[in-house]
Structure 1
Amino acid sequence: MKLLLTSAGVKNPSIRQALVDLLGKPVEEADALCIPTAGYGHPMGSPAGAWRFITGQSTTPMCELGWRSMGVLELTALPSIGAERWLPWVQQADVLLANGGDALYLCHWMRQSGLAELLPSLHEKVWVGLSAGSMVMTPRIGADFVEWKSPTGNDETLGLVDFSLFPHLDHPALPENTMADAERWAATLPNPAYAIDDETAVKVVDGVVEIVSEGHWRLF
């Protein structure tokens, strides 16, 4: 699977161009499924937040980019309907758009639904993550980002990449997200880690990592 791991969506022309490169065609010719699940697991999540994400009325551009078609893939519903129903939906989509929220909650439902097991076989599909939707692809999120308690009892996520992510670096509304905070966070992890601001994304294709940025970032 091709990954575009963002802090705050497709915020600038550079990130949008990276998305087009991954799709291999214009956004207007691509079919998308959005995944709002992570938002329900975070203390700051709300039904209104999920609605804004799905309807493209957020400040983190994902669903409002001009897709040819858009559908909603709610992971908590998938175990009750069976893969024979939802698997064709995923196979027919060009891109999966994962909302922010709680990465451990999202990870849990990706595993419970069967989507996590499927992802490595979706070689030509694009995953665009927003904050927690990006962090879920990493090996660990670090104790600082644990809100929802996973049944595993730890901070481990899917590990489709070998680095961790600290999003929203130096965001004015998040005084706990300074570079010094990111450095302390990274020191608790056994793997490499990136701190990225909202104008930055990490593009990953076949294990090759590329930073796409009109802002600032740091590799620890």
Structure 2
Amino acid sequence: MSGFANSIYRGSDMIMKLAYLNLLWIGFSLLGGIILGVFPATVALFTVIRKWIMGNKDISIFQTFWQCYKRDFVGINVIGLVLGIIGFVLAVDIYYFSSINSLLSKSILIIFGILSLFYLITILYLIPTYVHFELKGFQYVKYALILGITNIGGTIVIILGCVAVTFVYMKIPATLLFFSMSVIGVIVMWPAYRGFLKINNQGQMDLVKANK
């Protein structure tokens, strides 16, 4: 019974931490006016989750979050702005060519579909790569795509997990306040982190060094 009670306590404690972390993410996203706040807040959230996964479960959540938010505010916003523009261009192009009924437009649409898949993989791995590796500027974008393709099994798990939790959010909207990004952060960071360790152990990414 003591073991069972301990498991209940640890589970409840993690649920509370995830809820608190999610509230921090919402608050600091709003602090940056959403547009400028969401990327550094997401980096801070993933940094905390990464430390938990690595076994550092007793860290100060607020202090770690705030330090990361301040430190990465400019850098991640620059990258996020560029990726946002690229995503907008892809969406407009796909919408435009899908409205044209011709063989050429269908061929171009397939190309943009492939590019969109690579874009999605890059987005999924950008923040985990940013918080785990020490790189420069848009090297994070390059290696996010490489790591996402290399860790294809983890990428599939991430996509399926995000789809499943989104379905839950749609059915129970009240969970969005407390678990919208924190749970997604765990779903994305856990497989990504395991993929990073596997790649490092195999010596496939000699140019990338874990930093934090």
More strand as a share of residues: 1
In the superposition, the TM-score normalised over structure 1's length comes to 0.24
In the superposition, the TM-score normalised over structure 2's length comes to 0.25
